[in-house]
Structure 1
Amino acid sequence: MTAVKVEIYSDIACPWCYLGKARFERALSAFPQGGAVEVVYRPFQLDPHAPHEPLPHREVLDAKYGPQSAAMDERLAQLGAAEGLTFAFDSVLENNSLLAHRLLRFALDEYGAPAQRRLKGELMAGHFTAGMDIGDPEQLADAAAAAGLDRAAVAAFLAGDALTDEVVAEIAHAREIGITAVPTFVFEGQWAVQGGQETSTFLRVLEQVAKETAADDSAALDASGADGCADGACVVE
């Protein structure tokens, strides 16, 4: 099988992105040619204007969605539990995610896609399970060290403003190419699958991409019929 590149547009603050990540990685593990798949995370911000300060998740969500916010969280907690994830919404802190996205780009540039993928897991688990503040440089550096990055190098990077323009440009580009909700999975720059699809759907897509790339065929992928597709993504307000 020819190597396949998957670009995942995602926001650390998006619970469906965390769920989708777990389901996609489960599919990747079950895919016989999984070792030939390169996974790269691309930045996206659901709320680029979010304040640069930690705020309780419940407070933020209640302000956006009102009384239904508790039911939304409960559903995600149940879906997450089925994937082995813990959504501890009572302790989640919301913050502007730009600094964390800059760190993910740094990890990709300096350490490569596998390290970026490990870091993404650390950040999302920290955010949704451990009450981590994704806008705090010290906590970000700790997460990076847990993912195998050099903590001192990360701390030095976070102390400056390197890669800010590049990440902002990437986020703008995502919107320019029509991405309005996350997670969005783009296969080989040609086929896009949106939402935290079921593992079986991701596996079917991987199999179809392998066939299409082998045949050098640009036919559109069919990711319809999956439960949760309609509401399986966080949409820009």
Structure 2
Amino acid sequence: MRVEIWTDIVCPWCGLGYHRLEQALARFGHEGEVELVHRSFQLDESARVGVTERVRDMLKSKLGLSDTQVVDMTRRIEQMAQADGLTPYNVLKNRVGNTSLAHEFAAWATELGKGKEVWRLLYKTYFAEARSIFDVDSLAPLATQLGLDATAAREAMTSRRYAGKVIADGREARSLGSGGVPFVVIDRKYGVSGAQPVEVLLEALETAWREKNPQKLVSVAGQSDAGICGPDGCEVPERP
């Protein structure tokens, strides 16, 4: 069974959603027969590479939120992540920017057999350590933590030879009906949007496993307030 997940590294719901997917797979009775494929999705392809801004400023500008609203929104995501065992999980104190180089770094590492490890490392670097993942100088040293060569990583990013793959991944997600991330697709039949609870993801995995001949992509119902990041930022729907 093939499970694909589209994410952007700076999307706080993506870090949480990926963590929950891993938890669901760990509880899934056929984890050893699942191919997990990471796909890239850039929330802001138009942003200048290497130029960043504070999360606070981005949310105020794109969503028109006040300082209090920004703090409340990001604090809630941080608290949810903590409740799921992700700590520290920095959202408000971080910066955002164009993530194309980080995705290209991930594509390079994945080609060398470090797909799962590189995504975990990027989330850890950004959310747990609140460090930059926006430029070659910040990303290249991470290669050594994967047991890979930092010089080769630098060359892969400066050559931009993985840029086309990153762009194609994003287009593919949109062709499947995604308007934001995280977005999980199982056997190209079941689509799960947002950072759904582990139980929802597990149910989707088990349903897909039972159906051997998927034909079309359908939506899997989940919690209506499961967070998702779109081009204009990450928003938590208001509770009634």
**TM-score class, shorter:** 0.7 to 0.9
Change (3 A) 1:82 1:134: same
Q: How many percent of aligned residue pairs carry the same amino acid?
A: 31
Displacement over 3 Å in runs of 4+? 217-222
Amino acid of the structure 2 residue aligned with 1:60: M
Alignment partner, residue 178 of structure 2: 179
Within 1, Cα distance between the matches of 2:214 and 2:155? Answer: 45
44, 54, 57: which one pairs with 1:56? Answer: 54
The answer to whether the Cα contact below 8 Å between 1:181 and 1:233 also exists between their aligned partners in 2 is yes
Within 2, Cα distance between the matches of 1:28 and 1:125? Answer: 20
The answer to whether the Cα contact below 8 Å between 1:182 and 1:195 also exists between their aligned partners in 2 is yes
Question: 1:221 Cα shift?
Answer: 5.8
TM-score, structure 2 normalization: 0.86
Amino acid of the structure 1 residue aligned with 2:33: A
Q: Deviations over 1:192-229 (max 9, x none)?
A: 1111110111111111111112xx354766632x33x4
Within 2, Cα distance between the matches of 1:130 and 1:25? Answer: 21
36-45 vs 171-180, which moves further: 171-180
Alignment partner, residue 96 of structure 2: 94
Alignment partner, residue 15 of structure 1: 12
Change (3 A) 1:208 1:148: farther
Question: 1:42 Cα shift?
Answer: 0.9
73-82 vs 175-184, which moves further: 175-184
Q: Give the secondary-structure state (helix, strand or coil) at the position aligned to 2:5.
A: strand
Change (3 A) 1:101 1:219: closer
The answer to whether the Cα contact below 8 Å between 1:100 and 1:135 also exists between their aligned partners in 2 is yes
TM alignment of 1:1-237, pairs within 5 A? 4-52=1-49, 53-65=51-63, 66-67=65-66, 68-85=69-86, 86-109=88-111, 111-112=112-113, 115-213=114-212, 216-218=213-215, 223-224=220-221, 226-227=222-223, 229-237=224-232
Question: 1:174 Cα shift?
Answer: 2.4
The answer to whether the Cα contact below 8 Å between 1:91 and 1:130 also exists between their aligned partners in 2 is no
The answer to whether the Cα contact below 8 Å between 2:5 and 2:39 also exists between their aligned partners in 1 is yes
Q: Give the secondary-structure state (helix, strand or coil) at the position aligned to 1:181.
A: coil
The answer to whether the Cα contact below 8 Å between 2:189 and 2:216 also exists between their aligned partners in 1 is no
TM-score, structure 1 normalization: 0.87
Question: 1:124 Cα shift?
Answer: 1.3
Within 1, Cα distance between the matches of 2:84 and 2:180? Answer: 22
The answer to whether the Cα contact below 8 Å between 1:11 and 1:97 also exists between their aligned partners in 2 is yes
Aligned length: 227
Cα RMSD (Å) of the superposition? Answer: 1.9
The answer to whether the Cα contact below 8 Å between 1:92 and 1:129 also exists between their aligned partners in 2 is no
Question: 1:139 Cα shift?
Answer: 1.9
Within 2, Cα distance between the matches of 1:173 and 1:80? Answer: 28
Greater fraction of residues in helix: 1
The answer to whether the Cα contact below 8 Å between 1:5 and 1:40 also exists between their aligned partners in 2 is yes
The answer to whether the Cα contact below 8 Å between 1:95 and 1:134 also exists between their aligned partners in 2 is no
Question: 1:157 Cα shift?
Answer: 1.1
